[in-house]
């Protein structure tokens, strides 16, 4: 029997010797396996593993907060560490209530559905009375708040995208706003088992589909054939979409019948488009001055889109910007005007490529999911507002039409995810991180969030525990065997929380008397019932576990997103207030937000090339191609993509020449918020005036005050304000920087092995 494991990068075959995994190999059932996960056994990663519970010296000796990220640790026994955590939870609950506990997590810590750290920590905290939660995600916050108002929740939209085989057969013109990056499509929350995006794009191109990539960078699309690149200024896609809509409406190319049957509010939007409400018609000439795209090309593109079966795909990165709701709203509006939503191969994608799942033809059913219980604490924050919360307890914020206040957090409990990767303006976060009285972290590696904790509990990886790997609309479900002995004293999150629950008097509520294996059998059985309702027959658990993998057969039919809605919108209404696509939203208009009115509008970002000072460039911070977020950053695969151990920053040759910079040089990327050192990569694949510094290099601040971060982490530079009063989403793509040669002796990048330890 071939032993398989599942990860966020895919399914891999495990080579075993003496009962231990010694190598990972691509899964034969995957047509385009990702190389990232092949390196999960690398010794470079093993050197950075957390082996025993550890407590920061300053916290242990006097509950000092200011040493986080800089001080040494003391290793302690599990019993002492768990007593300390339970004591802190009990103290904070008694003195301040559960509303003073923040349950921090980000769902990418495990592809396995049971040992999903976010589910585990939320379940545990709910058993002890609840916690302050975060809402939405850094990846998709603006769209997650907007889209239910105007079309549908994002999770539903991603699950019903028109299938790739339908696109291959019917799409004549595929217009990408922000590309379809294969590097992003390597990943899936529950583990992709069949990487389909690169092959689908190649097949579409081979069948004659024409691709247009509207993006500041060229290489976020690869079709195996030529395509047109329209190098737009970052953060200006809304203006382009409005100009395209202007041409479509002015020339009578819009589908009046579809608009009348399937949308509301078009008549409220047209006066803005024509300039009747603000004195500025959204013409191609107007848009050229904002976007840098020639007016003639804008007008011609509008006609091409109206004259062919066109799929519009808008990347998630576009809504990670100031006023990030607007490009998604404008794209939805334009797609509705073209009238191709619900047709085979036409309409809208939001988006193809951010993860592997969109466009899958496989059956849809609920996979194994650990119930989290009920959180009785009502306080929450939008996910990207953590620094605001910690720095401004009691401060007011708006979110999705409601008025709220930030809670006063005394204890942060984090399991899964790395806020010193995800968050913006890391120097500000570092200051905010000193506010809580205690920070507890479960981690596998001595990464930045572990080094910024007070109590660190060593957790296992997916290779070191049993689990079930499955993601929505994937082809395979995987029985993930334990194939590696955990290093030192590392434990899985379930074991840690079970012991903590026993100390807190809630063990029965947390475990329900089940072992981890018994939970797997229960959750599989529940998923088995859900699969049956979708026309899929899964074998019994013991057979599944013995086989190691099951192919999802049955229930799979090519789908057309909103085909039924288009055919009969009354019989198949959307979940919007009107049941229709809302070009104008009465509900959003009623919120009275100046930065997010009732229809798509152009609003100037806080930072963009239109207000840049001389020498400033627009920095994009996209997903890396050799990691998922910051995961496995010390691996040899990640390291091989760096320059001198630093994350590369890509720059156009003209911009490099103007600054006297050469390929491979160490450069200082900086603005008023901070500075970082990166390796320069000179390439014509980025637009002039733009640089790209991908995320995920482990945060490595120099101990010298005022010195640059050493590893090329872009989030020391990004802007930490909300997308709007509607979503408060992350706006990492709205960022101006300067780039110059680094002068002086280049500092070494930290070796992220073990921290300094003090022996008591």
User: How is 378-409 classified by DSSP, letter by letter?
Assistant: --EEEGGGHHHHHHSTT-EEEETTEEEE----
3-state secondary structure of 81: helix
Angular region, 200: left φ>0, alpha ψ -120 to 50, beta rest: alpha
Q: Which one from 12, 59, 108, 414 is the annotated catalytic residue?
A: 108
Q: In terms of Cα–Cα distance, which of 133, 324, 314 is closest to 728?
A: 324
Tokens of 598: 């009732």
Structure tokens at 234: 């970052």
**545 catalytic residue (yes or no):** no
Q: Is 390 exposed, middle or buried (0-12, 13-18, 19+ CB in 10 A)?
A: buried
CA 170 to chain centre: 30
Of residues 630, 732, 646, 639, the one with CA closest to residue 681: 646
Q: In DSSP terms, which residues pair with 135 in a beta bridge?
A: 382
Residue 492 near residue 499 (C-beta atoms within 8 A):
no
Q: Which of 491, 442, 451 is nearest to 85 (CA)?
A: 442
Give start and end residues of each alpha helix (H) in 594-635.
none
Q: Catalytic annotation on 106?
A: yes
Task: Quote the tokens at residue 484.
Answer: 């590696």
Closest by alpha carbon to 444, among 421, 460, 462?
460
Residue with tokens 């090519």: 558
CA atoms within 13 A on the CB side of 174: 34
CA distance 730 to 414: 20
Which structure tokens are listed for 742?
Answer: 């680094």
- The Cα–Cα gap between 746 and 743 comes to 8
Instruction: Enter the tokens of residue 196.
Output: 């389909």
* 341 within 8 A of 262, measured Cβ to Cβ: yes
57 three-class SS:
helix
CB 655 within 8 A of CB 688: yes
Nearest to 425, CA basis, from 730, 178, 704: 730
- Please report how the helices 141-150 and 325-338 are oriented relative to each other, as an axis angle in degrees rounded to 10: 40
Alpha carbon of 714 to those of 440, 670, 676: distances in Å? 26, 9, 7
Q: Which of 9, 59, 106, 329 is catalytic?
A: 106
* Rg of the chain (C-alpha set): 25
Cα–Cα distances in angstroms (integers) from residue 444 to residues 112, 441, 449, 486, in the given order: 15, 10, 11, 10
Q: How far apart are CA 157 and CA 326, in angstroms?
A: 18
Q: List active site positions.
A: 106, 108
């Amino acid at each position: 029997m071939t032993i398989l494991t599942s990860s966020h990068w895919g399914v891999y075959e495990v080579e075993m010797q003496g009962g231990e995994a010694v190598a990972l190999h691509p899964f034969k059932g995957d047509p385009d396996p990702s190389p990232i996960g092949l390196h999960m056994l690398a010794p470079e990663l093993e050197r950075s593993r957390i082996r025993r519970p550890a407590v920061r010296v300053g916290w242990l000796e006097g509950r000092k907060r200011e040493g986080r990220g800089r001080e040494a640790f003391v290793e302690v026994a599990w019993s002492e560490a768990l007593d300390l955590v339970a004591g802190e939870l009990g103290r904070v609950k008694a003195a301040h209530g559960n509303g003073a506990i923040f349950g921090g997590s980000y769902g990418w810590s495990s592809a396995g559905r049971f040992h999903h750290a976010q589910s585990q920590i939320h379940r545990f905290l709910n058993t002890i009375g609840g916690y302050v939660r975060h809402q939405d995600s850094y990846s998709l916050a603006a769209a997650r708040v907007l889209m239910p108002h105007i079309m549908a929740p994002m999770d539903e939209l991603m699950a019903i995208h028109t299938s790739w085989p339908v696109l291959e057969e019917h799409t004549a013109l595929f217009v990408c706003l922000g590309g379809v990056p294969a590097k992003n499509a390597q990943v899936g929350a529950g583990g992709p088992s069949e990487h389909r995006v690169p092959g689908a794009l190649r097949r579409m191109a081979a069948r004659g589909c024409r691709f247009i990539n509207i993006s500041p960078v060229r290489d976020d699309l690869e079709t195996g054939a030529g395509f047109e690149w329209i190098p737009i200024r970052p953060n200006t896609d809304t203006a382009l979409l409005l100009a395209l809509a202007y041409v479509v409406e002015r020339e009578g190319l819009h589908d009046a019948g579809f608009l009348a049957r399937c949308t509301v509010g078009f008549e409220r939007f047209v006066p803005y488009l024509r300039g009747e409400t603000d004195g500025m018609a959204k013409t191609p000439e107007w848009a050229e001055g904002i976007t840098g795209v020639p007016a003639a090309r804008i007008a011609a593109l509008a006609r091409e889109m109206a004259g062919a079966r066109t799929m519009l795909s808008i990347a998630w990165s576009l809504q990670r910007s100031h006023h990030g709701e607007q490009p998604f709203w404008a794209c939805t509006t334009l797609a509705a005007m073209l009238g191709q939503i619900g047709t085979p191969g036409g309409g809208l994608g939001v988006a193809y490529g951010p993860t592997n799942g969109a466009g899958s033809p496989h059956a849809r059913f609920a996979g194994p999911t650990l119930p989290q219980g009920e959180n009785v604490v009502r306080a929450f924050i939008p996910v990207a507002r953590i620094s605001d919360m910690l720095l401004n307890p009691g401060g007011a914020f708006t979110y999705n039409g409601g008025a709220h206040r930030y809670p006063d957090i005394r204890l942060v409990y984090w399991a899964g995810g790395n806020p010193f990767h995800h968050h913006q303006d890391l120097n500000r976060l570092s200051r905010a991180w000193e506010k809580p009285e205690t920070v507890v972290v479960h981690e596998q590696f001595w990464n930045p969030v572990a080094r910024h904790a007070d109590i660190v509990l060593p957790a296992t990886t997916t290779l070191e525990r049993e689990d079930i790997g499955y993601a929505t609309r994937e082809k395979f479900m995987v029985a993930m065997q334990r194939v590696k002995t955990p290093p030192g004293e590392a434990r899985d999150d379930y074991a840690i929380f079970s012991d903590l629950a026993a100390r807190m008097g809630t063990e029965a509520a947390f475990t329900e008397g089940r072992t981890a294996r018994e939970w797997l059998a229960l959750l599989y059985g529940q998923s088995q019932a859900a699969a049956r309702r979708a026309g899929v027959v899964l074998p019994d658990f013991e057979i599944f576990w013995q086989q190691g993998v099951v192919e999802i057969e049955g229930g799979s039919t090519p789908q057309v997103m909103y085909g039924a809605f288009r055919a009969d919108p009354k019989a198949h209404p959307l979940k919007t207030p009107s049941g229709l696509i809302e070009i104008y939203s009465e509900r959003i208009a009623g919120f009275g937000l100046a930065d997010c009115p009732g229809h798509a509008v152009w609003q100037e970002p806080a930072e963009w090339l239109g207000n840049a000072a001389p020498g400033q460039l627009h920095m994009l911070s996209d997903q890396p191609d050799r990691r998922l977020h910051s995961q496995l950053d010390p691996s040899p695969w990640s390291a091989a993509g760096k320059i001198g151990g630093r994350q590369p920053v890509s720059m156009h040759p003209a911009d490099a020449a103007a600054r006297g910079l050469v390929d491979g040089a160490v450069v200082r990327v900086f603005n008023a918020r901070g500075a970082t050192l990166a390796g320069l990569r000179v390439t014509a694949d980025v637009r002039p005036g733009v640089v790209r510094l991908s995320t995920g290099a482990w945060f490595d601040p120099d101990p010298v005050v005022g010195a640059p971060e050493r590893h090329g982490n872009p989030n020391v530079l990004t802007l930490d304000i909300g997308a709007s009063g509607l979503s408060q989403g992350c706006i990492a793509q709205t960022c101006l920087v300067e780039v110059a040669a680094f002068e002086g002796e280049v500092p070494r990048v930290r070796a992220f092995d073990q921290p300094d330890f003090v022996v008591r």
